Structures are given as structure tokens and as C-alpha cells.
Chains A and B, each alone.
Chain A
């Protein structure tokens, strides 16, 4: 404990507390709460039953009212803690409620009905995780389909992005040819072309190619990302040309130079682009929303949005599906965050 507080209260310079120290810690701790809190709240909520979700004020943890089977009743009855006239408390089961009076029975003595003022009772609750929120969407909805579509799109798009971008980056960094700088300019100029500007003609192009309502129509427009070519080219420029000349002397083909020398050496850059491609494609929303209109082809993001927009919002399922959608990104965050933040700070990539 002493080491923890010593760690937390460490100050710059060692002299007294400066106001900037206070701001720093308020900002950091507030940051943890504000950045993680919402996702934690969503995850906790995803384990609540529909009844608990409709409550106000909501509880922090997922509670359910305890129930008990009583002889002579078909359904389990909810249990309440009742304050009796003599001041003692007792767990009673509610049979029915009429106005402000509840008819309750003692589970041990099911024959006697006790009339209780509803202000004098509180539901007896226990923490319970409604796992059915997670299992039912797998059975009743197309959830598994959405999940599969998202995995397929993400994997394919990332693999193609890495191969195609690294080939182009190799050509642009290790060869001298006419039009080289023009191609580089073209790629740089389109770095900032957002989907919003070209989505109308892009849709007509993929429909001309017969790729509307086809997962490849979602994948292909995203794979030739200028960011990727740019990032990989910058990295490959640092690979010494002498290595390549030496390989040529040893009769290596250009293709071999690419996949046996340049690719392995560019692995760190490929890894950065790969991670980002996974996050980008997994999170894509607008383009799949446009390109896919058949329900069985929806990716998770589109499926989630469509479901949550329906009139009868089944929040207990939506929340659970949202948590599942978050999982890969949280895994990337937990295992690779150090790596990613360094990559962003160094390259401005996102």
C-alpha cells in the first residue's frame, strides 16, 4: 500500500505539490473513467435481463429479483424483504398486488396470506449474469452470419492490402522508371479523397461489375489504400539497395528479391499496416451500408445498426452483440497498444 501511494503521489522535482500536478492527476484519472467507463457500463448492462434494463434508476451491476417455487402456484413467485409491523424483516413471496397492497405469503407457510403495504417491501435481489443475451442471438438472429461476413471481409481485405500495397511500394522504392514521380504524386493527391465524395459513382461502378450485394464489392474498393503504399514505401526506402544488388549478383529473380528480402525486412511496417487494416475493415460502416442490402450479407456493423434502429429495440440483444463486436478491437488494444500508439505518433497513420 505504501508503495502504491508513493507511486501515485510522486511529484516532479520532489518539492511541494504544484497545481499542474493536481491537474495532471485529475486529467489522467478522469481520463481513465471517461475513456473506459462507457465501454464497461455497456458490458455490465449487456448481462442484464430486459426487466432490469427497463428500470430507473438503473443498478450498476446486473441484478435479478430472486424467485421461489411455492406449493399451489404454477409459476415461481418473486421474493421480497418485508418490514413487519413489529419492526422485524422477513422474506415473503408476492402472490398478487392490488393497488397499494400486496398479498404475500411465507414460502414456509403457503396457506396464510399476509397483506403488506407496498412501501414496506423491497425486492430481494441477487447478482446474475443473463448469459442468454449472448447465446440467443446466435440461435435466433443472423448474428453468426454477420460475424462470419465481418471476419471474411476483414481477413481478405487485409491480406490483399498487404500484398498489393507492398508490391507497389517495392516498385516505387527500389526501381527507377518513367512516370514514377507522377504515380507517387497521384497516390499522394488521393490520400485525402474521402469515401463521401466518391460514393455515388463508386456504387455505380461496383454495380456495373456485378458486385453489389457481394462481399467482394465491400472488399475491393478498400484494398488499394494510398496510406498503405505511402507508409510501406517510406519504410522500404531505408532498406539498402546494396542488399538487392547483391541478390541480383546471386541470380535471384526480382520476385524472389521482393518476397525473400524486402518483405521480411519490411515486416515491422507490414505489421503496423496489417493491424490498422484489420481495425479499419472490421470497423467499416458507411461503405458496407451502401454496398450491401441483403440481410444475409450484412457485416456486424451494418447488422447492429439496422437492428438497433428497428422499432422494437431489443436492447438486451443489441448490447450483447455490441460487446462481441468490440472484442477484436479490445484484444488489439490490450496486446498491441504500445506498438500502435508508437506507429501513429511516428507516421500520423489512422
Chain B
């Protein structure tokens, strides 16, 4: 993996940028030399690890652990000592439904609306995203001039912040927006407020999230395509194999491990859909684009009836889904690595 690091970075330029940092580092050398004398090489290893591990433990590991404790407490207090132990009550509240198919029959109806919305979003968005990303990767993999430019084109939205993405599309989809202008110019259609329509708001959420992320997945798939040995294609060409057959019999099977990695990555990200859609629709109209993260966010922080315990329980349920997906991803990347080594 590291061997593929781009050689485009000029070490001298990057080095120059770090000059002040390196100067500052020179100052601490003497005390650290003393430390080294006292602790030896292994001691220095711990010293180098310490800052990162300390921050990591406080801000990642500790929250992971106390999330479980939180999910078993009740009340609106933020600190654990102000909260009462309620056992599995929060989970019970989340999971109590007369019928699991009807969110309105559940005690915590918003949770199930968010679950259902997220499920529908994932089922619709991920396959579309994969098809668009794969097509883009195939197109970018062709022999043509200006490849790095075309490659960058699709990557541009990936760099934009979700807030900017959401605002751009809100601006395009509003009444005086570009979409209405185009429909008016081409078909004389009356202006429509797309984001106040339940169906179109969902379509917009799916479309905008694909727009924002497709470049990332296309790039990973492109890397996979380029790892396929050229001579296989040359042999196919010699045999006069039709391009469609080449795609189904050579490209797709050989790309499968990468596709699998991308699929699971896309699933993991899609389950966590939040910011660009939140800025675009605010979860609305009504609850039609309310997704899991927004539910947890609002239950934990924003709503009048704040309930951090409930939010923590919901986040653990979501975490379970993500752990399963992550394990799938690890398995998928292992098999794709195996292919790379072969």
C-alpha cells in the first residue's frame, strides 16, 4: 500500500513547510535525551506513543465504553453522576412496537421512522451509487488524453463541505432555482418547490448524496481497474471477443473484490447519512428525510425533551449494525488484498 504513495510530492517543498515545526522540535531535544538515558529505547517508544494514545483514549475509547453505561441511565442530566440507573428500559422503549412494520404503533415512533427512512435510503442509494461509480470508473479507465483532468472533475464535489453541498442544492431546487429554470425553458413547466414535496425531497436526498460521494468510490474502483493486467485484455482482443463479453467475463469478475469493498464502504457511509441531507431538507418535509444520525442528534442534544440515555441506546443499536458491516468490510478487503498479491 505504502509503496504506491505518489511520488509527486516534492520532499523539499514539503520539508520547507515544516521548517518552523522542526525548529521547535530541536529545542526539546536536550530534555528528551535525558529521558532516553533514563528509560532506554522501549521507554522512548512509549513516549512517542503517549500523546496520541492519551487523546485517543479520552476522546474515542472512553466514549465508546461509557456509551454503554449511558444507554442504561435515564433523565436529562449530562453527567453520569446526575443520572439514574434504569437498566434496559431505554432499549425496551426503543424496541417496543405493536407492529414493526408501522412506526406509528411504536412507543418511540420517531426512532422507527428514522430506521425505516434510513433503510429505504440505503436500499435505494447504494445500488445507484455503485452503478454510477462503476460507469464513471470504466469511462475514466479508457485510453484518452487529459485523464487526470477528467478524473479530478468527478472528484470535485467530494472535497466540498456537506454544508456547502446542501446549500448549493437547496439553491438549485428552490422555486427560483436552476432546475425550475431548465424545466421552464425546455418544457414551459410551472415552477415547483421540490424540497417541500415528500417524494421529491427523498429523491433529492438520494441524488445529492450520490453527487457528493460518487467521485470517491469511482476513484477506488478505478484503482482496481488499473490493477487488472493488460495482457488479459490483449488476449481477449486477439480472440475477437466483443466488448460486452469482455466486461462481463473479464472486468467484472476481476473487479469483484474491489466492488465488494466499495459496496460495504458505501453501506457503512449510507447508514450514517446526515449532514448534507440535514442542511438540504432539515429532515423534512415532516419526517420524510429524518435519518438515524439526525434522530440521535436531536434526541441527545437538540429537542426540548432531551434524553441522552435514549440517544445513547439508539446509537448502540446503530453501532451494532455498523460493526457487522465493518466485519464484512474487513473480510472483503482481505480477499481483495489476496487478489493484489497473486
* A residues neighboring B (CB under 8 Å): 7, 10, 12, 18, 20, 23-24, 27-28, 31-32, 34-36, 38-39, 41-42, 45, 53-58, 159, 162-165, 167-168, 170-172, 175, 177, 183, 186-187, 190, 192-194, 196-205, 207-208, 220-221, 223-224, 226, 229, 234-235, 237-238, 253-256, 258-260, 263-265, 267-272, 279, 282-286, 290, 301, 304-305, 308-309, 315, 318-319, 322, 325-326, 329, 332-333, 337-348, 350
> Which of A223, A341, A350 is in CB contact (< 8 Å) with B148?
A341
Query: Which of chain A's residues have a CB closer than 8 A to the CB of B38?
Result: none
Q: Which residue on chain A has the smallest CB distance to residue B316?
A: A197
Query: Which of chain A's residues have a CB closer than 8 A to the CB of B154?
Result: 31, 35
Q: Are A326 and B153 in contact (CB under 8 A)?
A: no
Q: Count the B residues whose beta carbon is within 8 Å of the partner chain — how many?
A: 119
One of B1-9, B100-108, B195-203, B248-256 contacting the partner: B1-9
Q: Are B80 and A259 in contact (CB under 8 A)?
A: no
Q: B163-183 vs A: 1/0 string, CB under 8 Å?
A: 110111111100111101100
Q: Is B84 an interface residue (CB 8 A)?
A: no
A-B contact pairs, 23 of them (CB 8 A): A31-B136, A35-B211, A168-B51, A171-B48, A175-B48, A177-B45, A183-B49, A204-B308, A224-B55, A226-B56, A235-B5, A253-B32, A255-B36, A258-B48, A267-B14, A285-B162, A286-B293, A322-B168, A339-B8, A340-B159, A341-B219, A343-B6, A347-B5
Interface of B is mostly: helix
Query: Which of chain B's residues have a CB closer than 8 A to the CB of A162?
Result: 21
Minimum Cβ distance to chain A for residue B224 (Å): 9
Measured in the bound complex, the distance between the Cα atoms of B223 and A259 in whole Å is 33
Say yes or no: A342-B6 contact (C-beta < 8 A), given A285-B161, A290-B297.
Answer: yes
Q: Is B63 an interface residue (CB 8 A)?
A: yes
Minimum Cβ distance to chain A for residue B311 (Å): 5
Interface of A is mostly: helix
Query: Which of chain B's residues have a CB closer than 8 A to the CB of A337?
Result: 148, 152, 155-156
Q: Are A224 and B56 in contact (CB under 8 A)?
A: yes
Measured in the bound complex, the distance between the Cα atoms of B274 and A284 in whole Å is 12
Inter-chain CB contacts under 8 Å: number: 341
Query: Which of chain A's residues have a CB closer than 8 A to the CB of B33?
Result: 253, 255
> Which of B9, B32, B62, B78 is in CB contact (< 8 Å) with A271?
B9
Say yes or no: A200-B26 contact (C-beta < 8 A), given A57-B184, A194-B322, A333-B159.
Answer: no
Say yes or no: A342-B8 contact (C-beta < 8 A), given A170-B48, A201-B67, A253-B33.
Answer: yes
> Which of B158, B178, B282 is in CB contact (< 8 Å) with A350?
B158
One of B91-99, B121-129, B138-146 contacting the partner: B138-146
Measured in the bound complex, the distance between the Cα atoms of B233 and A12 in whole Å is 14
Minimum Cβ distance to chain A for residue B25 (Å): 4
Measured in the bound complex, the distance between the Cα atoms of B125 and A348 in whole Å is 21
Q: Which residue on chain B has the smallest CB distance to residue A168?
A: B52
Q: Is B88 an interface residue (CB 8 A)?
A: no
Say yes or no: A58-B5 contact (C-beta < 8 A), given A27-B139, A31-B136.
Answer: no
Q: Which residue on chain B has the smallest CB distance to residue A309?
A: B282
Q: Are B67 and A196 in contact (CB under 8 A)?
A: no
Minimum Cβ distance to chain A for residue B126 (Å): 17
Measured in the bound complex, the distance between the Cα atoms of B157 and A235 in whole Å is 28
Q: Are A234 and B1 in contact (CB under 8 A)?
A: yes
The interface centre, meaning the residue of A196, A259, A339 with most chain B CB atoms within 10 A of its CB, is A196
Q: Is B334 an interface residue (CB 8 A)?
A: no
Q: Which residue on chain A has the smallest CB distance to residue B171?
A: A42
Q: Is B205 an interface residue (CB 8 A)?
A: no
